[in-house]
Structure 1
Amino acid sequence: MSNQILTVSALNRQLKATLEQQWGRVWLTGEISNLATPSSGHWYFTLKDERSQLRCAMFRGRNNRVTFRPRDGMQVLVRAQVTLYEPRGDMQLLVDSMQPAGDGLLKQQFEELKLRLAAEGLFASGAKQPLPDPIQTLGIITSPTGAAIHDVLSVLQRRNPALKVILYPTQVQGREAIPALCRAIEIANERDEVDCLLLTRGGGSLEDLWCFNEEAVARAVFASRLPIVSAVGHEVDVTIADFVADLRAPTPSAAAEMLSGDQRHQRQAIANLQHRLNHAIGRTLQQQRSRLSLLDSRLTAAHPSRQLATLSQRLDEQQLRLHHAMSQRLAQENRRLDNLTTRLQAWQPQRQVRQRQEQLTSLSDRLQRSMSSLTERKRQQLGAQAQALNAISPLAVLGRGYAILQDQSGKALTDASQVQAGDNLNARLHRGELSLKVERTTPSTD
């Protein structure tokens, strides 16, 4: 026995100090039961799971921060101080934070990863890559069947049909989407065939968008040599990928607006260039006319009318050739723009999907016919083997008048020395059985 004799209060006090020192604050999840909300404003309840339960208290200064109304049966995530209520000697939890389970746990993981990656410098502005200007080829990493790709292509078709688009199809939801997204980013960097990448998907719940909050995806975005624009979910949705990406757009459509530029702006730029070219041509012509006039005045004494006429004709010809070349160049650029627009319209992902679906249907029909043919051949082989087996069956032998003799234990007899006179035997015929009694035995002389 211990030499020190404690009072109950002293023991409870030491146990309380030990619990608080050893455990401190913990996160745990469970179901609320026996919730009491007295007029003091404090909350008292039990947190339980399938096997155990703990008493909990959440004082008014803490529960004022809870954004929902707890009730019995609700699953919650709490942060609490492990302690002991000395007057009764009951272990209890002093809760200082409460949120619904599920989303609450995910938000906690989100904040922890966000702080850790920020400390490593993955969100730093100095690590952001500038977007190329102009963007001639855009890579899109998303699901080929989702709403995001439809919205993005619609905006690009309206604003800039000449922009070339390459789709890197991938899953954008679930655990399988994490390695798929990383691989799509790696493939785009390996091929190096686009100027910029758009990482996108439509809206959804926190769980639906969670693959964009995974560390592996964040590091793949950070390691990309190609600039990445992130447009995940709706405007209110924010993911870890948004922080790491070189630029964040609030929605897929907004990203397409941002990255496409506007064809009207390009036409305006061409018109401005044409105006500047005409102005430069006019100025050049004016300078040449002034120079010609000066030469004409200097050569007036010699009256070189033929040379002046020749030079004037050459000047007119050059002016006409210059205007003709300028018109041809503008027509060529317009034809190129129309050709790019036609190619973009022809290269629609929906057409590719329909072709793959038709191929899948054809292959499915061929597989069904092959399985039917194989099943019929196996059925015929089984029938032939059954006939062969029946031909050598002992029962077939019995049908020809033979019998099988068995002793009382059911053992088949092959030698007369196995029985003695007076033994009872059983004879199995092709149809039915006979009970026999041995009168005498004649051993074999072989």
Structure 2
Amino acid sequence: MYIKTLTVSELNGYIKKLVDNDFILGNSNVKGEISNFKLHSSGHIYFSIKDEYSKINCVMFRSSAKNLKFMPENGMKVVVKGRVSVYEKDGAYQVYCNDIEPDGVGELYMAFEKLKSKLQNQGLFEVTHKKKIPSYARKIGVITSPTGAAVRDIINVAKRRNSTTELLIYPVLVQGMNASESIIKAIEYLNKVNDIDIIILARGGGSIEELWCFNDEKLAYSIYNSKKVIITGVGHETDYTIADFVSDRRAPTPSAAAELAVFNLEDLQSKVISYKNNLNNLIDFILKEKRNSLELLKRSLDVNSPYSYIVNEYNNIDRLKELMNIKIRTRLEKEKEKLIKANSLLTAHNPMNILNKGYAIIENEKIGVVNTIQNLRKLDKVKITLKDGSEEFYLNIKN
């Protein structure tokens, strides 16, 4: 009988084909405990699952890993879904995972997804219904277990960020049958405390069973109807509950919830100092601008003021007065010269001046100046004017 000799690669390839063509191995659900868990920087996940007798390697590619609803951890009991195949290079078979679920909580996940879908359709998760977180909360109500790590983390963060912020701790059950009712009563009570600005609902990490009280429908409506802002910090970063979806803000951890709720006093003081300096600088700038503006207005007023105008007009009046006096004096001088010339001319042609030379003026009241002997012979009475005066004379002139 002839037996073909196979290479190692051929043998591994043959086994891989057998495994890949097996229907059961192609669609397997395998349960066990996670060990050697590694999240690679590429996004792929490598781990093993084991029970008390055996172990098998698993790999989940990034495309499937990004859809996980939780982050697997070492020691966690899970059910992996996928296919079994052979990695030819090493000749090892492993499970190529499409999904991972915590073992024994499949029904809880179904109930969670069902309630989530119902409340989402009713609009309880809408962003428009979420209240704005106050920037400067003075008093914060904290709903959590009084003995857990969550309350200590919140207190430590609050003291570090702002020691003046007051915390009102309302102790509640955070797991078990009566936990949801306990939390609802706490929300109702803190809503009646007038000076509370924010409510923190917090709990440390745990399994889905331990966090199940935060997936209660009545609690969801209590959070939705709260008049106070509610921040949830339930579990670890990968844990999501119905309470997180309904709340006004979901924080990944209790400490992160405190970071959101408690404002940093040192930062606020720095801001106040910065605002004060900016305000002082702005005031100084405005005052300087206003002062400059007033100076310009004052200069403009000084230039255009009635007083300055009047003073300047006084100078103008004095100048006009002086100019008028000069013109009057000039005119008077000119007129005086004209008068002197006229007087000289008049004096030169004054007939009275001829009298000084021995001449006389003979007048008659009827004919006036007598300037011919013929007329003189006809007269009986004449007035003779000489240089020293006039006198009438009677004539007795014969032909």
Q: TM-score, normalising length from structure 1?
A: 0.45
* Bigger helix share: 1
Larger Rg: 2
